[in-house]
Amino acid sequence: MPSSTFELPAPLSSLPAVTHAEPLTLLGIGFGPTHLALAAAFQETVADSGDKMCLFLEQKHAFSWHDALLLPQSKMQISFLKDLATFRNPTSRFTFLSYLHSRGVDRLAQFSNVGSWTPTRVEWAGYLAWAAKQLDDIVRYSHRVLAVEPVLPDAGSGTKPAVRFLKVTVLDTLTQTIHIYVTRNLSVGTGATPYVPPIFAPIILSSQTSCPGGSLISAKATEDTAPLVHTSSYLPTLRRLFGEEASSTTFDGRFAVVGGGQSSAEVWNDLGIRFPRARVDMVYRASTIVPADSTPFINSRAFDPSSTSKFFSLPGKERGGLLVELRRANYACVEPELLETMYRTLYKQRVAKDIALVRGDVNEKEIESLEQYRILAGTVVANVQVNFSAPHTAEHSDEDVHHTHGPLDSVAISRTSSRSSTDSRLSSSVDSRSPSVSRSASEHEDSTLAGSHVFGQAPSITLSYTSALSTQMQPTPASETYTAVFLGTGYHRPPSSLAFLKHVGQYAPNLHRFLNNGGEDEEDGKVYKHWQEDLVGRDYSVNFENEKYDWQIGLFLLGTNERTHGLSDSLLSVGAVRAGEVTAALRGL
């Protein structure tokens, strides 16, 4: 094997190394739903027909899927038929119906009795974990890819020597061992990274740590960790603040959710259920919340398997126009059923306010300041401040220290007060948000608010607001202070997430340009304008344009091709069919 162009950095070069000499047919980086579907397709079509081998590497220690957002009320937004395998092979052992049947025929019957095409997210996570368990023998967890490079032939191997393998260098983070694999085909399905707007990034980064590849992983929680996180860390943050139950019927502080999409709406609704006396704000720039368009014609145009080829065949300008047109089916929108639930919550609050006014419990001057649930549309976060305070329990101290995070290194002292008894009279008039939280669970608040948890000791967050609209439905508050702030600001796929491919990029000009010049588009900072039209072909494989070699390897990029393959590229809808297409396109079969 020719000498490598990748050298381990000093801290890793002294670790023991294992070289796996037998070449793989397929090596996958990442093991979420995308590669679950690919692994299932490979096992059923390639592995069963000969001695071809595949392996998947995942940097997490075990399989998981959106654990932080597995909320009791949350449902999938797609049909259960759009699972890991049905659209590729309805008789596959990896279908959702096979999962239900594996739990007993009564489980399958009971699901049919529910009469819904969309399972709960909790049930879907169970299905994915079941499928992953069946594939344990071809997955290596706690494995982080450091570099990928082509195995170049020795000089004098012919006028156009063949490149048949890729070399992949990996760190086993549990055993601290370096592993080196050789593969004919490499598939990259590492998923997306939580997107944090620049105004919040310094605070997020101060309490999180960046791992190679560009994704953020939570650091060990401490009392000094600012409770400002992406919604992808929602439930772990609540458990850190309030204990394992992540709920309280006595907590009367304030939460904020930033963003106007599905995850923001789900978290806003869930906070009201877990903390029935808390105040919850939802803050977003747009003038209103937009419903997700899941009607049949939109679904067919955006998500049917045939839509991928149709989209790919369009000129670049038409692709861009169609993405904008179909955007309402996936981005910054909320399922209509959840929208109705949210509106009913606000209406119940209005009824309670009117009743309290008629009874004389409150007056006109104070009632607006006592609103428990608010949706602040057309509102922009102009400044973020972290407020550090001395440790205290549920009974807040009179004086807290506020530290402005940013260029102004200032400290100010101000007084805080607990909620008034008037507020209690108003909130008691509001009907229960949901019956899904049992009384036994909600009665756990006494222990969750004890001093053993971080609540009352972690810093609070103050957000300063400005109006994004010239005319507002309601006044925009100048600022509010929150116990925790959750960012429902979406996900992105920055070039840094593919940094381990830079040695391959030397031989694929468009990949090289993307990795080095992946400038952000003006659209939300989440789409990258230098993702070249001809970077990947219809079969998702990178186009190698270096004429010095005969490229006989396959490098597949999955979930990163919305600009060329359509809106569904990063979604579950096409996972099964795409897995079949990639399997059929593998080199060297």
Residues 6+ apart with CB under 8 A from 16: 176, 177, 178
- DSSP secondary structure, 268-289, as one string: HHHHHHH-TTSEEEEE-SSSS-
Sign of CA dihedral 384, 389, 391, 392: negative
Q: Span 17-192+493-585: which CATH code?
A: 3.50.50.60
The residues pairing with 217 across neighbouring beta strands, listed in sequence order, are: 209
Q: Looking at residue 294, what is its pLDDT?
A: 86
What's the predicted TM-score (pTM) here? 0.84
Q: For residues 47 and 52, give the distance between their C-alpha atoms in angstroms, rounded to a whole number.
A: 5
* Closest of 329, 17, 319, 14 to residue 168, by C-alpha: 17
- DSSP secondary structure, 318-379, as one string: HHHHHHHHHGGGTSS-B-HHHHHHHHHHHHHHHHHHHHHHHHTSS-HHHHGGG-SEEEETTE
Sign of CA dihedral 282, 288, 293, 298: negative
Find how far residue 116's CA is from the centre of its chain: 25
Q: For residues 74 and 579, give the distance between their C-alpha atoms in angstroms, rounded to a whole number.
A: 27
Q: What is the pLDDT of residues 311-326, one digit of tens each?
A: 999 988 899 899 988 8
* Closest of 401, 383, 384 to residue 392, by C-alpha: 401
Q: Looking at residue 583, what is its pLDDT?
A: 97
Radius of gyration of the chain (CA): 26
Q: Looking at residue 588, what is its pLDDT?
A: 81
Find how far residue 4's CA is from the centre of its chain: 35
Q: Looking at residue 41, what is its pLDDT?
A: 97
The chain-wide mean pLDDT, for the chain, equals 83
3-state secondary structure (DSSP) of residue 168 = strand
In the chain, where are the structural domains located? 17-192+493-585, 221-289+341-487, 296-329
Q: For residues 180 and 27, give the distance between their C-alpha atoms in angstroms, rounded to a whole number.
A: 12
Angle at the Cα of 79 from the Cα atoms of 77 and 83, rounded to 5 degrees: 105
Q: For residues 353 and 474, give the distance between their C-alpha atoms in angstroms, rounded to a whole number.
A: 16
Q: What is the pLDDT of residues 114-139, one digit of tens each?
A: 999 999 999 999 999 999 999 999 99
Q: Looking at residue 526, what is its pLDDT?
A: 45
Backbone angles phi, psi at 554, to 5 degrees: -120, 125
Q: For residues 297 and 294, give the distance between their C-alpha atoms in angstroms, rounded to a whole number.
A: 8
Which residues in the chain land under pLDDT 70?
A: 1-4, 49-50, 155-158, 205-224, 389-457, 470-475, 517-533
Q: Looking at residue 426, what is its pLDDT?
A: 53
Say what the alpha-carbon torsion angle 533, 538, 542, 545 is, to the nearest 10 degrees: -70
CB 37 within 8 A of CB 198: no
Q: Looking at residue 533, what is its pLDDT?
A: 66
